[in-house]
Structure formats: structure tokens, C-alpha cells
Amino acid sequence: MAHIGNEILSAVIDIEACVGCGTCVEACPLECLELSDEGYAVMANAEACVLDGSCEAACPNGAISIQ
């Protein structure tokens, strides 16, 4: 989660679109993501996320977006 002006942004994961490939987990330089026991990506450390977009760019299914 990050503040841009008065706006609060975060990485949003669409669990319906996530196939649990782990590409986003590997792409995150700060290890903010992990795969859940259910097999989809979740934010494990949202406070550390700097919203660099690496997870969003790496996801082959477009399951992650910065909003």
C-alpha cells in the first residue's frame, strides 16, 4: 500500500483470474507476495510494497493490478 498525493494505492489480486503459477511471487523484489494454501497469490507484507508494478507486469493472466 502506498500514498500518491491523497490517494492510497495497493496491489489488488483477482483470485478468480489467478492460476497460482507463482510468477508474481518470484517477480516481487521485496517478497510482499506468497501463494496461499488455496493456491492463489496473496499479499503477505502489504506494508513493504512499494508498488513498482513488477508483479503486475509479470502476471501472465492479468490477475494483479495497481489501484
Q: Could you state, in order of their start, the residue ranges of all structural domains in the chain?
A: 2-66
Q: Report pTM.
A: 0.85
Q: How do residues 5-32 score in pLDDT, each as one tens digit?
A: 666 788 999 999 999 999 999 999 999 9
Nearest to 28 by CA among 11, 8, 15, 14: 11
Nearest to 58 by CA among 3, 4, 33: 33
Q: How do residues 36-63 score in pLDDT, each as one tens digit?
A: 999 999 999 998 999 999 999 999 999 9
Q: How many CA atoms lie within 13 A of 1 on its CB side?
A: 8
DSSP letter, residue 55? H
Q: Is domain 2-66 in CATH 1.10.443.10, yes or no?
A: no
3-state class (DSSP) for residue 4 = strand
Nearest to 53 by CA among 44, 45, 62: 62
